[in-house]
A and B are shown apart, each in its own frame.
Chain A
């Protein structure tokens, strides 16, 4: 198979053309190659239909070998081409490490990029863009037992990004936020600040103007950057509901978003409850009982603040202190008069 990769993509220059095959290649070579591919493929349960089980040890090895093959070229950091139509640079390189840690890191490339990519140049009619998270996952529910992609898709369809008529949001889809080669869903036990940073990076990669410290956006939120390090954009920008899923994809418009501090800083922390589900269960198992109690984040700033109780208590305490001071003064006076009396009786005693 390797001989088909003879062309070094690093030397490719000029506008990218999408011919299927150079015209001098006779058709029987194609047929022959197909046969070779099929024969090799028989050994691998990954190729062909019904191969959607999680790869076992031997299939994992096959998948790894295939990834290795593709990454010979696509692992190069500089691999990119300029789209002749739009003039934009299209990045074709994948980060090996990110791929390895991603949810799809154990899959053979061909599981998504079906048919033909193992040849180079790749056949032109193939396009990865049609692949779709929801389609594939709905067809193969066995690949996850904890996610319901139909629900995600329904939520997404109601989100600002999907309903916006802003031209910039025109071809928004799952891949706008999730690179299938990089995405790793947060799991129980990951540290909350890491999750927050990871999730917010997704949003800020496009909404980068918000990062500008001079931007007036979110100016009403005290300590904006601290909040952004402590809570997810999602926590304020999705509906407040009792769902036990940590992520909602129904991103609300600016007007509908949560501005209410009390939702986090008091009243049961409705918003944070969703985020903190990541933490709650992990904690006791991983950390000792006491460590968990000592380094506990259940209390957020201002949660116990209640002006009524504060004022009442401070007034009562203040009054008590005043009364006690008055009492002390009264005792001092009594003590003085006792001393005078004693001095009086003493001198009287002396006289008598």
Chain B
């Protein structure tokens, strides 16, 4: 049995707050977008909740960025370019093939590297790519009156609406894949438990396998 303390308290708090906000934003966002559908929230209720959650998400995102700047957690987001494609390929063949044949996990969680390359790249894409764009498009809605009427010859609000919508769909997609992928740890709940307790535990058996491969 090996145990690594990978998720400090602040990170876990941020993560679950972020998760809650995601769910709230998706529900209220869908209620606004598909307004009139009976099983969704009424439009008038959804709007202030969505706006509040959006503001909180902004704050939460900023704390995440700051957290990664001032704590060692940021190191997990430094991409190691050497062998990047090899590692990426290994990870993908594992998910696409090896996992069905009980092949050993190609990545071994360590204190310095808790994210596999595929994970790392997708988290960077989401947290430093999609999220800021989503947040900016959300705030542009709120303050659209101060923006020019047209953008690239199209109505500004329409451009913002389409951007916000597309980004939102991408993040829904991310959330679904994310929730599935975390079940691919050593056991179904290895990763979930790590995000709850902070401790990443693996049985020695697996460690031996990794050690043998290394």
A-to-B contact residues, CB < 8 Å: 242, 266-270, 273, 276, 279-281, 283, 290, 292-299, 301-306, 309, 313, 316-317, 320-321, 324, 327-328, 330-331, 333-335, 337-338
**Complex interface: chain B residues within 8 A of A328 (CB):** 180, 183
Check if B129 is an interface residue, CB within 8 A of chain A. no
Chain B residues contacting A303 (CB-CB under 8 Å) are 157-158, 161
Mark the stretch among B76-84, B116-124, B166-174, B191-199 that contacts chain A. B166-174
Among A273, A304, A320, which residue has its beta carbon within 8 angstroms of that of B162? A304
For the complex, what is the distance from the CA of A91 to the CA of B157, rounded to whole Å? 48
Q: Is B38 an interface residue (CB 8 A)?
A: no
Q: Complex: how many Å from CA A327 to CA B98? A: 12
Q: Which residue of B lies closest to A294 (CB)?
A: B51
A309–B166 contact, CB under 8 A?
Answer: yes
Specify which chain B residues have a CB less than 8 angstroms from the CB of A279 in the assembled complex. 145
Cross-chain contact A298 with B157 (CB below 8 angstroms): yes
Using a CB–CB distance below 8 Å, which chain B residues touch chain A?
32-33, 35-36, 43, 47-48, 51-52, 55, 95, 99-102, 139, 141-146, 149-150, 154-158, 161-162, 164-166, 169, 172-173, 176-177, 180, 183-184
Q: Is the CB of A296 within 8 A of B47?
A: yes
Is the Cβ of B158 less than 8 Å from the Cβ of A267? yes
Interface of chain B: mostly helix, strand, loop or mixed: helix
Can you name 8 A-B pairs with beta carbons within 8 Å?
A266-B161, A270-B149, A295-B51, A298-B141, A298-B145, A309-B169, A328-B183, A334-B100
- Residue on A nearest B159 in the bound complex, by CB: A268
**Bound CA span A283–B144, Å:** 13
Q: Which residue of B lies closest to A317 (CB)?
A: B173
Residues of A close to B184: CB separation below 8 A? 331
Contact yes or no, A334 B176, CB < 8 A:
no
Known A304-B162, A305-B33, A333-B100; contact A269-B157, beta-carbon cutoff 8 A: yes
B165 touches A304 (CB 8 A): yes
Other-chain residue from B144, B150, B158, B177 in contact with A324 (beta carbon distance below 8 A): B177
Name the distance in Å between B192's Cβ and chain A's nearest Cβ: 15
Complex contact B32–A299 (CB within 8 A): yes
User: A302-B35, A304-B33, A328-B180 known; A268 and B55 CB under 8 Å?
Assistant: no
Asked if residues B155 and A317 are in contact (CB atoms below 8 Å), the reply is: no
| Inter-chain contacts of A266 with B (CB < 8 A) | 155, 158, 161
Min distance, Cβ A223 to any Cβ of chain B, angstroms: 9
Docked-complex contact B52 and A294, CB < 8 angstroms: yes
Task: Name the B residues within 8 Å of A301 (CB-CB).
Answer: 32, 35-36, 43
